[in-house]
Amino acid sequence: MTTLPLLRLFPALVLVLLFAGSSRLGAAPLDIDAHMDEATARAMLARLGYGATPASLAAGTQSTPREYVLRAISGTSGLPPVIAAQIQSLPSSLPLEETWKRLGPGASRPGLKNRDFRKSIRLELEQHATSAVLGRLLMMANSDNPGHEALLSFWLNHFSVYAPKSDVRLLASDYVRALDEAMKADSFEALLRASFLHPAMQVYLDNDNSTAPDSPVGLAEKARKNSRGIGINENLARELLELHTLGVDGGYTQDDVQNLARIITGAGTYALNGPDAVAGNPGAVRIGLFLFNPKRHDFSAKTLLGTSFPAGEGLPEIERTLHLLATHPKTARFISLKLARRFLGDNPPSHLVDAMASQFLRSGGKISETLLPLLSSEEFAASLRAPARFKEPLDYVLSVARAACADAPVGNDLFLLATAVDMGEAPLMRSTPDGYSPLESAWLSPAAMAKRTRLAINVAAGRAPLAQGNATRLPALKAVSSGRATGAKGRACNAEPGTVLRVTGPLSGTTQAAATRLSGKDNMALLLASPEFMSR
C-alpha cells in the first residue's frame, strides 16, 4: 500500500485537531424524547460509546436520547456467543470464592518451599490480572449496549484500581462486576459503597491492614514487636475525599483525613486464617470477600467534616460516613464536573455544572437525573452536531476495531491490549489512583497522532489481527507494558471503506479533497486517521 499521501496529510491532520476549538453554539437543544436520526445516533455512539457500527446505528435510530442513556445506566450488555464463550474461558471467570481459597491471604500452600511451585502460583496470579483486563476489552469492543460499557468505564476510572497489584490480581474482574451491578441502581451512593466495600479497593489503597494501635490486633503486634501490623494508613481516606467524593478543593482538612482514616480502620479483606478470619472473631462482618474486623478498628469518638461520631460504633460509622460523603454538596459538584468533562468537553460552562449538581442533590444522587441538564443543554446539542473533541486513546482503538470489523466479533483481545498499552490507556492499568485524565491536552500530541496513523494504515492494509487471535498462554501485564508481549497473531477484519465512511459521518472539505486523490486501502486509512474519525 502506498502510504505517502496519507503521511503527507499527517501534519494537516494534527493542525486540524489541535486548533479545532470548542463546539459551535446556537443550536437548538436535543429533543431527548424524540427518536434520533442517524447523524445524532452516530454522534451519541461516539460520545457515550465506542463508535458506531451498522447494527448499532440502526438500533440508535430506534431510540431516543433519554432511552439511550437510561439503557446505558441500567441495561445489560449482550455479546456474540463466541465472545461470551471466550470471556467465560478466561481464568478471571472462575468462581472467585474457590480461587480465593487457593490463592488468597491465609490460603494453605504446603508446596511454597518448592521453587517451581512458587513460580506456578505467581504465573497463575499474573494470568488472573491479565484475563481481567482482556475480559474488559472484549466486553467494551463487542457489547450491544456500548453506552453501558462507556459509562461503566467512566466509573471504573473514577474509582480506579490497578490490576497488577498484589491480591488485586485476583479481585479486579469481580470489582468490575460489582461496579456494573451498582451502576444499575442509578445511584452514586450505590457506586461509592460498591467500590469501598470491595476488597480490591481496600487492597489497592492499603487499607486492608490499617490497624488502630490500641486495638486487639495492634496491641498483639506491638507485644510481638512487629511494627508492620501497627498503624493507621491514610491512603484510602485521602483518596475517598480527594478523588472519589468531595474533590481536591472540597474544603476538608488534614484532620478530616486523619479522622476518616480512623473511621475506616478494620475495613479490609477476608482471610481463611489469621487475624482477618471470621472464625473466633465476634463482631466481624463479612460482605463477599470484604471484611470488617473489629479487632483492628478504632472505636474512639471522632469528628469528620463537622459531624460527630460517638465512640463504640464500628461498622455503622463507616456506613454513615459513606452516606455523608455521597450526599455532600461538594460531591454533587465534583461528580457533575467530571461527568460534564467526560461527555461534553474540558471546560464545561459553570451554569451547566451547577444545574447538574442541583439535580444530583434533588434526586439523591441519581445519575440519570444528574445527566438530564447535560443532555438537554444547547452546548451538548451543538457538540453532537459538530464533534470536535479528540478521542481518548482507548476510545480510538475500540472505535477503529468496531469500524473495521463492522458487526463481526472483535476477538483478538491480546492485540487490543497491546495496542491500548502502546497508546497509553488500558482498562484497570492506571497505576495511580487518580485514573486516566479526561482532558484533551493529556492525549493530543504529534506522537499520539503518529501512533494512531500507524494503526489506521495497518488496519487498512489487513495487518491488524482484530478478528481473532490464537494465544495459548496469557502474558503477564508487565510483559505487555514493556512491549515484550505484542498480542497473538490472527485474522484481520475485512474492513470496507464504505462501511467506515458511514460510521465516520460527513467529511470536511479538507478530508474530502485528500480522499479524492486516494483509492482503495489508502482511502480507508485516511478515513480512520481523519479528524472526523478521531473526534467524538
Query: What was the pLDDT predicted at 110?
Result: 67
- Of 530, 518, 468, 520, give the one whose Cα is nearest residue 495: 520
Q: State the cell numbers at 109.
A: 500452600
Residue type, 536: R
257: alpha, beta or left? (left if phi > 0; alpha if psi -120 to 50)? alpha
- Grid coordinates given for 509: 472539505
Q: Render pLDDT for 55-75 as a digit per residue (tens, 0 to 9).
A: 999 999 999 999 999 999 999
Backbone angles phi, psi at 250, to 5 degrees: -80, 0
State how far the Cα of 65 lies from the Cα of 384, in Å rounded to an integer.
Answer: 12
**pLDDT on residue 488:** 59
What are the cell numbers at 212? 488502630
Between the alpha carbon of residue 510 and those of residues 9, 13, 89, 92, 506, the distances in Å are 10, 9, 46, 47, 12
Instruction: Choose among 125, 148, 135: nearest CA to 56.
Output: 148
Strands 285-287 and 290-292: antiparallel
Torsion of CA 486, 491, 492, 494, to 10 degrees: -170
Q: Give the per-residue pLDDT at 188.
A: 98
Quick one: cell of 339? 461527568
Q: Residue 382: what pLDDT?
A: 96
Instruction: Quote the Cα angle for 98-103-104, to 5°.
Output: 90
Domain boundaries defined on the chain: 4-28+389-534, 81-184, 216-326
Q: What is the pLDDT of residue 1?
A: 43
Predicted confidence (pLDDT) per residue in 498-514, tens digit: 999 999 999 999 998 88
Give 142-173 as a DSSP string.
H-S-HHHHHHHHHHHHHT---TTSTTHHHHHH
Strand pairing report for 307-309 and 302-304: antiparallel
- In three-state secondary structure terms, 304 is strand
Q: Which of 139, 127, 134 is nearest to 99 (CA)?
A: 127
Spatial CA neighbour of 233 closest among 256, 269, 255, 264: 264
DSSP 505-533: -PPPHHHHHHHHT--HHHHHHHHHTSHHH
Backbone angles phi, psi at 237, to 5 degrees: -60, -45
d(CA 525, CA 516): 13
Buried b (16+ CB within 10 A) or exposed e, 80-109: beebbebbeebbbeeebeebbeebbbeeee
CA 212 to chain centre: 33
pTM: 0.94
- pLDDT score of 228: 62
Radius of gyration of the chain (CA): 24
Q: Give the pLDDT score at 6.
A: 54
In this structure, are residues 427 and 179 in contact, taking their beta carbons and an 8 Å threshold?
no
In contact, 195 and 216? CB cutoff 8 Å: no
The predicted pLDDT at position 20 comes to 45
Residue ranges in the chain whose pLDDT is less than 50: 1-4, 11, 14-25
- What's the confidence (pLDDT) of residue 457? 95
